Structure 1
Amino acid sequence: MPNLHKWRNRLFGNDLFGKTQFRFTLQYSLLLSLLLFLFIAIVYTLLYILIWNDQEQRLNKLLDKEIHALQGPLYAEVLNKKFDKPGERAFELSGDQAFYYIIDTLGNTVTGTEIQKELRAQVFDLIRTGALSASALEKIELQTYDEPLPHLRKANDRQQRILYMVGSRLLYRDGQLVGTLYAGKNVDFQKHLLQWLPAVLLGVTLLFQTLVVWLSWLMSRQAMIPIRQAYMRQQQFVTDASHELRTPLSVLLASIEALRIEDVPANDSFEQRVLEGIKDEVQRMIRLTGNLLLLARKDSGQAMLHNAWFDLAGVAVQTADRMSLLAAEKQIRLVLEAPDELRVCLDQEKIVQLLVILLENAIKYTTAGGSVKLIVAHKYAPPKGKFVLEVRDTGVGIPEEELPRIFDRFYRVDKSRSRQMGGHGLGLAIAKHIVEECGGTILVESRPGEGSVFKVEMADMLSPSER
């Protein structure tokens, strides 16, 4: 038992994920093993039925063929002793026929032969005792020798018991019962095949069991990947959120303490600076907690859209006007390209938030003298339409290796610079959430030093008047 724990710890680890993966592997192994054994049992059962059904059909076909021949002129030839000469037989012996006998109603043998002479006495004993049914096929074991051909027996000839399938047919002539035909075939090979087949299937099962365990381990490892990633994201989320919340709270506490210590006139510049600092940090906390609440609702499935028809072009103009003040402070030119009117049915508040996030992000990472362009357009390709939002900037750009992660929560390409700019790393994560919630897609193209392009597409949102 200690060796099992050591092996488990080495292969899966001793942490929570390792133990969970071990349980998954065990569950997958048991499930796949059960399915494998069930499959083997079904295969064996089907083979068993098919093999014996095939032998029964062969023997029945043989009996029907021979009884049909006896109902014709062949029976008269048998009665005239035509087939009593050595080497002459009414029916030939083959792999499907080891013996045949025609017994009249008085129990006398009309004709018959066998592949081994030892069979005759044993079959006749079974006929006399009524062990052979006249209406069904029977499987019986008879004592024979290894050598099937008639030859002079020797003392060292080895005897064995062979399984035969025996059947019978009643013989009628002119409506009168005149005898019974008995015929049998060797089915010992089929018996041994069905005896060895479970062992072979069990061996194959044990061989595949190793493959099952390996596949179970792979499946459990793949199943643990999203769990590990979700757990790590949650851990990072909690850590970063705690840090982000602790910093403004510390500043707020220090500012309050400073107000308590300093006894200055109400119009003093120091008091004004402290109050402004408190105001900024409180606003920062409100934005952060609002973003956290939005993402928390998304994770819990509580987020809801309040769709209504509104003019997207007009909303874009108003949003651009608001953001132009921020752009002017950094000496950045903000340009809007939009149609006169573009009516869509969406959650207006969410769309405004999306525009603010994208524009604020573009302005934040664009240096003085640069430009940010907001493009609002609609495309219509019957029977569906879509509208496009694009935000282009001439900012610092994003390295190619960082592009897949920019929509992750609390992720920043340059963490130190982002903190100085007052960012939390939640904006783009929220933007992606809004786009996906509205059934759209968001893509980004960027090169360091050349700027970035964020492109949003949403389908089937145009009003009937625009189509």
Structure 2
Amino acid sequence: MKKPKLLRKSEKDVFAQTRNRLTLFYSTILTLFLAAFVALALFVFYIVVTNDQDQTLRILSDREVNMAERALDGSGGAWREQERRALTGNQVFYYITDVNGELIINNDDHEELRELYLDVIDGWLTDNIEVKRVEIGIPENDPFLEDFSEMDLEVMVLARPVIHNGERIAMMYMAIDNTFYSSMIKWVVLIFVSIALVFAVVGVALSRWMSKRALEPAKEAYNLQKEFVSNASHELRTPLSVILSAVEALGMEVDKSNPFKEKMLGTLKHEVKRMSGLITELLALARSDSEQAATQLKKERFDIRPAAEQMIESFSEYVSQKEICLKLVAPEQLEVAGDRDKLIQLMYILTDNAIKYTPAGGRVEIALEQHNNKKQCEFVLSVSDSGIGISPEDQKRIFDRFFRADKMRSRKEGGYGLGLSIAKSITTAHNGEITVESNTGEGSVFRARIPYLAEASKTMHPSGKALNQIL
């Protein structure tokens, strides 16, 4: 069966998560370094430009305040009339006010903007030198300021007192045009940030390449280990089968009057079976790791209800010994699409796992459902139990290989910590997902969702009846 386009996904790389983490780590380091460099460069540039403007303003103010103080009449402290001087360089205005704020001397570049300039210094009194930046907003609808409506004006203003005989007798205000430097700073910031973003993108690409190169040795070692597990598991199956056959043959001829020999053969037979089970699970995992695992699935449409009933029957003796109620909830007919053997194995794994961790007198329920829409169907397998439950910490690792939440119970029940890993690999190969919901001491619910195209499945039996089979 051709893989549906909606479900077609690239094979998940076992190292994808590690590679993404390394990429994130490298990218974060490079980005932080780049951001620190850009921030430091912009800060230094800003300080240099600001200090240069501030120094220029202070030098001009020193000259002007000396001239203002010399203009005072020594006897009365009155101001002499000063010649109107032209403003120097990028100077915007030069004002002197008395202690009451009345303008004594004024000189500005544009008389039309004087009211806006005076608003800047209104009520500004200080006993020291103060400097601040002010952005002057020019009204757009004022006809007298029509020629300045499109002007962006930012000034650096200095205020300092004029002292005579130890007393402040006036205030001097001076401003220089800072628009050009402010615009230059904005452009420099924009250019630096743009360059930083470009380098950040390059850094992410470089980080991904570096993480790929860093994982190559580990990936090669993993592939060698995977190949070894596959080959070893395959080679060990035959001798273990021979040993098991020999043990069974010896068991038929053993002297029943010799309990020691009978016990030893029983133990040997049990351990060989356990080893065979481990080899089978390792071989299943090795095959699921293969890059062709998804393409090797035998996609077919089949009714999964009979297989579930047969599974219930096969567990009947086991659950009777443990006094567990095993219940199947499923429609009378439920046709799904997928690998028949793999999906049945998935049911067996989840059911066996639930029975193992459910104490005597407990219950295990297997629910089979089908969710349909116009384009896609979904087969949902849920296995719930009233067992010991799984802690939130263990739930994060429950599908890891060889992980066992309760190691003592797992050894007693004969588990190797591989069943749920195989269940996850089967679900992943079908482009599905498997989840667990559990609380310690309250049981668990494992739920596997297997999607497939609607055309690949028939609808549920017309009766729509869900039949329950209970053991």
Given the two structures, how large is their TM-score scaled by the length of structure 1?
A: 0.46
Larger Rg belongs to = 1
**RCO comparison, higher one (Cα < 8 Å, 6+):** 2
Which has more helix, going by share of residues? 1
